[in-house]
Amino acid sequence: METLIDQFVVPGDVLGKISDLKVRIGPGLLQNKDAILATKSGVLRFSKFHKFYWIENEQKRYVPQCEDMVIGIVVEKHAESFKVDIGSSSNALLSAYSFEGATKSNKPLISIGNLVYARVSVANKDMEPEIVCLSNKNKSEGFGTLTNGYMFKVSLGLSHYLLSEDCYILQVLGQHIPYEIAVGVNGRVWVNSESTHNTIVITNTILNSQFIQEDQIEPFIIKALEQQELKQAGI
């Protein structure tokens, strides 16, 4: 499959054998006996950091896959669970005990409308998806409620790119603005910085990154920061 990375594939293409695969497969790929098949059109991508293959395209509807990192919006609150909108065809179930240190007497304080950064633990076409705010080591490790900040939507392809270990956009942003970010493969991004102006610059940079060349990203950030400074100064 290595020879097909960054190549366009179509449904039905045989991309490799499972015996040669030492990593996970993600959206757009299917195991059929010992073969790996493409189930949708797009560009085959590989993440060294997350160690999995997936097919990237402009699909708008998110289809949950196990181990996906997602940003959800709490839409229902029950005694021991929550229903969370993760952008899929059905809401996901989040147990009140799926947080580090959560017990019957120490449940997380979550309200309807709150954002959570979670991991998909169950994904089956015949069942509602289930998510947890824990890593595979049963630690929070960044998962949990997202307070303050601002959430916006991007394409599913861009969200995968933002999660890659060599994401140029986030590297350049970090050189100019201190910020926090959480990216869900369901096409949602949450950012938080020390000022609303910086959050706006970060958001606009990420949204416009699909339409500008890499060598134009840093000048775009610098110009946006300068414009914000002029606005603050009343010029």
Highest mean pLDDT among 100-104, 182-186, 215-219: 182-186
Percent of the chain past pLDDT 70, that is, above it, reads 91
Pick the CATH number of 2-56 from 3.60.70.12, 2.120.10.30, 2.40.50.100, 3.30.450.90: 2.40.50.100
89, 82 in Cβ contact below 8 A?
A: no
Q: Is 174 helix (H, G, I), strand (E, B) or coil?
A: helix
pTM: 0.78
Tell me what the mean pLDDT of segment 223-235 comes to: 76
The answer to which of 62-66, 77-81, 95-99, 183-187 has the lowest mean pLDDT is 62-66
Q: Is 129 exposed, middle or buried (0-12, 13-18, 19+ CB in 10 A)?
A: buried
pLDDT tens digits for range 114-152: 999 999 999 988 889 999 999 988 899 899 999 999 999
| pLDDT score recorded for residue 115 | 97
Per the CATH hierarchy, to which homologous superfamily does domain 150-233 belong? K Homology domain, type 1 (3.30.1370.10)
Q: What share of the chain is helix, strand, coil (3-state, %, to 5)?
A: 25, 35, 40
150-233 has the same fold as 69-146: no
Query: Domain extents for the chain?
Result: 2-56, 69-146, 150-233
CATH superfamily ID and name for 69-146: Nucleic acid-binding proteins (2.40.50.140)
Tokens of 55: 């097919």
Among 69, 83, 77, residue whose Cα is nearest residue 107:
77
